[in-house]
Amino acid sequence: MGDVMGGKKVHLQIFTPRGLKIEEKADMLVMRCIDGDMGVLPGHAAVSAALGDGILRIINNSRTEQKIAVFGGVAVVKDDLVRIMTTIAQRPGEIDLPRAEADRRQAELLLQERSEDVKIQSYQVMLRRALVRIEVSVYPQEDED
């Protein structure tokens, strides 16, 4: 894949309220938007997308990939530069796995009970985030099929 692109890469910048947190070069990015995944290769058209809770995959040499947990925010793609503005972006090493597991169990328990819609929504968010964290943390890297 890298040969086809002629060595061109996508430049990724992730901004959080603590500043420019992550800066990477990648052959391809796959990010979770609110209505599904979006892949970005070099030469992508200018687009702004709203992000959901999910995993951002940074793929290099079409073999290895890094995963980053990103919760909400927006992504702006322009001239092979991808800027992501989000409140939370975590690398696998930054995730507290026992806490994510605990969150997951608690959210699953709470969801079994009957409660108001607003609460159910917040438990669903909690569960979704816990699952994303667990996945990023347990499978930080994997080879593509």
Partner 1 sequence: MSSLHNIKHRINNVATTRKIMKAMDMVSAAKLHKARARLDGARPIFTEIKNVIDDLKYCEEVRDNVYVAQREVKNTAYIVITSDKGLCGSYNKNISEAVLAHMKGKNEKILVVGIKGSEFFRRRDKNVIRRITDISETQMYEGTGRMAERIRHMYLSGEVDEVYVAYTRFETTLKYAPCVEKILPISDDGEDSGIRYRGMKYEPDANTFINELIPLYLHMYFFAAHSESVACEHAARMVNMESADKNATEIIDDLTLMYNRKRQAVITQEINEIVSGANILK
Within a 10 A sphere around the Cβ of 45, how many other Cβ atoms? 7
| 73 near partner 1, judged by CB under 8 A | yes
| 64 near partner 1, judged by CB under 8 A | no
For residue 122, the SS3 value is helix
For the four alpha carbons of 46, 61, 70 and 52, in that order, the dihedral sign comes to positive
Rounded to the nearest whole angstrom, what is the least distance from the CB of residue 112 to partner 1 in the complex?
Answer: 28
Contact 33, 62 (CB under 8 A): no
Of the pair 10, 137, the CB lying nearest partner 1 is at 10
| 74 near partner 1, judged by CB under 8 A | yes
Residues that bind partner 1 (CB under 8 A): 15-20, 33-35, 38, 45-50, 72-74, 76, 78, 83, 85, 87
